[in-house]
């Protein structure tokens, strides 16, 4: 097993298990974690002996998103934000979700190909409750596996979606008992690895090429929305209220 700051990796045959490992901060992403995630996924993509990856946050939580106190660091050259969400991959990546996948944590899930989740897992996009918006793909990726109205509900209310409902709607591909997500995700990864790697890689690239036709428009729309919110007083108030552990006082400006 290799450890790199806030991320550990473990090879299981042709499967690379990548674990976010910052439990005291609910796996919130800071600059060190972004760099470590980028390095781990570069390894997954570059090593011809690795045919599938599993991304997990461990047995209790997946990821609470951006570390608002520290910031997530700069986007990486190959992976973009968090080293993950703008990455072009030919190697499948399975998310194994326990506990919470909130904000950027959920957007990391949306950047994966398949999702295995424990029954108590929850998916949420609480950015609007902090005076900011989802800027790592959720604005256009959430409506792909989810009905548009459900995606809007997540984005506009900030309230989480239980794993059982996410499974019914097709976001979660396999629902398992709590604590079993990583093992189940590895099993799925091994099923993928039993197939011809060239066929798998080309299939994934073709599917992502079609799905990604709208991505550039999505990123442009996201950037415009982020720019508008960035200059608002509400953004500063939302982040300040979160860090000070108080209710925000919105002004609408």
Q: Active-site residues: which are they?
A: 107, 127
Given a contact cutoff of 8 angstroms between Cβ atoms, the answer to whether 91 and 131 are in contact is: no
Quote the CA–CA distance of 141 and 161 in Å, as a whole number: 15
* Structure-token pair, residue 53: 């990856």
- Helix (H) / strand (E) element for 199: namely helix 197-211
Quote the CA–CA distance of 40 and 238 in Å, as a whole number: 33
Beta strand 52-56 with 93-97: parallel, antiparallel or unpaired?
parallel
- Helix (H) / strand (E) element for 215: namely helix 215-230
């Amino acid at each position: 097993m290799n450890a790199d700051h806030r991320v550990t990796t473990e090879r299981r045959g042709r499967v690379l298990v990548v674990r976010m490992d910052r439990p005291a901060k609910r796996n919130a992403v800071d600059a060190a974690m972004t760099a470590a995630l980028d390095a781990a996924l570069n390894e997954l993509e570059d090593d011809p002996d690795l045919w599938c990856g599993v991304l997990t946050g461990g047995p209790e939580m997946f990821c609470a998103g951006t570390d608002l106190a520290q910031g997530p660091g700069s986007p990486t050259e190959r992976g973009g934000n968090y080293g993950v969400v703008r990455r072009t991959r030919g190697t499948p990546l399975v998310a194994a979700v326990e506990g919470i996948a909130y904000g950027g944590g959920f957007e990391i899930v949306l950047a994966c190909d398949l999702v295995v989740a424990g029954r108590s897992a929850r998916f949420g996009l609480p950015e609007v409750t902090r005076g900011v918006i989802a800027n790592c793909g959720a604005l256009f990726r959430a409506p792909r596996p989810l009905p548009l109205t459900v995606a809007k509900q997540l984005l506009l209310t900030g309230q989480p979606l239980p794993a059982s409902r996410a499974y019914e709607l097709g976001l979660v591909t396999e629902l398992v008992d709590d604590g079993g997500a990583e093992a189940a995700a590895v099993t799925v990864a091994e099923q993928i690895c039993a197939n011809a790697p060239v066929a798998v890689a080309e299939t994934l690239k073709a599917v992502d090429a079609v799905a990604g036709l709208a991505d550039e428009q999505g990123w442009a729309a996201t950037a415009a929305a982020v720019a508008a919110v960035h200059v608002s007083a509400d953004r500063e108030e939302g982040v300040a209220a979160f860090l000070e552990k108080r209710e925000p006082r919105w002004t609408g400006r």
